[in-house]
Chain A
Amino acid sequence: MKYEYLPHTADVKFKAYGKTLEEAFSNAAFALSNVMVETSKVEAVVKKDIEAEGEDLPSLLQQFLEQFIILLDTDNFFLSKIRKIKISNRKGKYSLSAVVMGDEARNYETIGPQVKACTYNSMFVKQEGPQWTVQVVIDI
């Protein structure tokens, strides 16, 4: 399973999984985007570079996911594919760079509410055996 939505009264809560940290982060980006649009239907015609930094893994994840919310508001961008994603740790600081593909949001039928923010509420990033799990609550 790539991700699953969990019960939450007012907002959207999900867990995303991956064999690597990068895979779990990617799946989280799809969990977030699929609240608004079926990403499998979005064409990969526009390329965006994404950068994020964090003092720790939750803040890196928060900033990474926030980039998709910002890209929708400012560039009318919906995610289709994540081409490259690399997370590195230098002197205790985490950084992420990714290349993502997508299309103009206005070309697609939306299926749910607009994601307004990625919160720290109930957030975790953890490794259990061979699997990474991240949990996120997004504000809608």
Chain B
Amino acid sequence: MRLIRTDWTIDDINPKLKQLLDTLFAEVPSGVGRGGLTRLSDSEMKEILAKGSKWSLEQGYGTKDDLATTEDYGSMKEADPECVSTTAIARGKPQLGTLGAGNHFLEIQAVDSVYDEKTAAAFGITGKGQVTVMVHCGSRGLGHQVASDYIRDMEKKYGFADIPDRELINAPFQSELGQKYFKAMCSGMNYAFANRQMIVHWIRDSFKKVMGSDDGMRQVYDVCHNIGKIEKHKVDGEMKELCVHRKGATRSFGPEREEVNELYRSTGQPVFIPGTMGTASYVLVGTNESEEKSWGSTAHGAGREMSRAEAIKRYRGETVARELEQRGILVKAASWKGIAEENIPAYKDVDEVCRVSNEAKLGKLVARLVPLGVVKG
């Protein structure tokens, strides 16, 4: 998940919103079976898996400041491309620089409320009406293949007779297979970093084409989710090194954690919780309390509460898009069915989710963002 702040206001963007959305839709490949714009060799893929955003920067995608505001500076050192199968690499090759489909999105938003002015200012958020851009996508098919490959290997090595669900297969972290999987997962994170870095580059290109410049388009932060990370936490009063798995969760470290990028070490890390295409998304800041309560984690999204099949039965994509347009929100998607599936009532109330996160002190409210235009995969 990535957020970019801009110097524009709603009034600057609104007259060109449709053109901007069309340009973004054309520049950032999305949807099922629509490949990326790059043609990569095996050796380039291995470099991407080893270096992450550093590779993207070397290729001219993005700026040094983008890396300074990316979790782990956009590059997992533990990554080892040799631990990633040729099938996973083959799946990743045509997808680099693509948004994908499902709940992945690219959204032009406006700041609607600021709850904590000081922290907002540190994040580059200046006030109501300011335009931001949010991107949600990850390691695409490559990450899924890494999981499939290692589930198979772990079953062979450790068996699955004692576990309630075969998806819960595991290996001791320090075992040879456990370490190999961790290195492969870190390679997947690097792929996701590089992927989002390229998309951000094309977002800037799109704004440059339509708005005439990309000045002021600074990345606020890039956070990972659905990952395992090695971190030190207090367990029964004693600091221990743990592997923290965050699935459906995002890191929410408070001030003074050494893992947090230097730029945000005094404030705590930025945290983003997106809603749906018709509701708000939130910027929060990580807390020291979350380190004690939830190993430094909070929710990574509103979370679905209606099945996709049910949403398709109840809503028509065309109608949903028209209703959103009447409220001033433009939607562009590769498939109408995709819009129906991601309709507002399919998700929990994001305002409530973030209120709870704030009250439980897992992440404190900084600003509320509302959608202006959405590209759905």
Kindly state the interface size class of chain A when it binds its partner: 35 or more
Kindly list chain B residues whose C-beta atoms are within 8 Å of the C-beta of A70. 87, 90-91, 141, 145
Find out whether the CB atom of A72 lies under 8 angstroms from the CB atom of B33.
Answer: yes
> Hey, what's the 0/1 contact readout for B78-114 against A, CB within 8 Å counting as 1?
0000000001001101110000111100000000000
Kindly list chain A residues whose C-beta atoms are within 8 Å of the C-beta of B335. 109-113
> Hey, what's the 0/1 contact readout for A90-110 against B, CB within 8 Å counting as 1?
000000000000000110111
Give Cα A111–Cα B312 distance, bound, in whole angstroms.
11
Give Cα A9–Cα B303 distance, bound, in whole angstroms.
9
Find out whether the CB atom of B338 lies under 8 angstroms from the CB atom of A112.
Answer: yes
> Hey, what's the 0/1 contact readout for B128-149 against A, CB within 8 Å counting as 1?
0000000000001100110110
Kindly list chain A residues whose C-beta atoms are within 8 Å of the C-beta of B308. 8, 10-12, 112-113, 140
Q: Which of B87, B156, B166 has the most CB of A within 10 A?
A: B166
Kindly list chain A residues whose C-beta atoms are within 8 Å of the C-beta of B155. 55, 59
B11 adjacent to chain A (CB < 8 Å): no
Find out whether the CB atom of B144 lies under 8 angstroms from the CB atom of A139.
Answer: yes
Kindly list chain B residues whose C-beta atoms are within 8 Å of the C-beta of A106. 33-35
Kindly list chain A residues whose C-beta atoms are within 8 Å of the C-beta of B341. 112-113
Binds B, one of A43-51, A116-124, A128-136: A116-124
Interface residues of B, Cβ cutoff 8 Å to A: 31-35, 87, 90-91, 93-95, 100-103, 140-141, 144-145, 147-148, 151-152, 155-156, 165-167, 304-310, 312, 334-335, 337-338, 341, 377
A36 adjacent to chain B (CB < 8 Å): yes
Query: How many contacts between A and B, using CB within 8 angstroms?
Result: 112
Known: A74-B94, A112-B341. A66 touches B102 (CB 8 A): no
Question: What is the chain B residue whose CB lies nearest that of A119?
Answer: B167
Give Cα A54–Cα B145 distance, bound, in whole angstroms.
17
9 more A-B residue pairs beyond the given contacts A76-B33, A112-B308, A116-B140, with a C-beta to C-beta distance below 8 A: A9-B304, A12-B309, A69-B144, A72-B32, A73-B94, A106-B33, A113-B103, A120-B151, A121-B166
Find out whether the CB atom of B102 lies under 8 angstroms from the CB atom of A117.
Answer: no
Minimum CB–CB distance from A97 to chain B (whole Å) comes to 18
Give the contacting residue for B307; candidates A8, A76, A113; CB below 8 A.
Answer: A8
Q: Which of B101, B140, B151, B156 has the most CB of A within 10 A?
A: B101
Give Cα A59–Cα B149 distance, bound, in whole angstroms.
12
Known: A110-B335, A121-B165. A8 touches B309 (CB 8 A): yes
Kindly list chain A residues whose C-beta atoms are within 8 Å of the C-beta of B102. 113-114, 116, 140
Find out whether the CB atom of A7 lies under 8 angstroms from the CB atom of B310.
Answer: yes
Give the contacting residue for B32; candidates A63, A113, A122, A139; CB below 8 A.
Answer: A113
A30 adjacent to chain B (CB < 8 Å): no
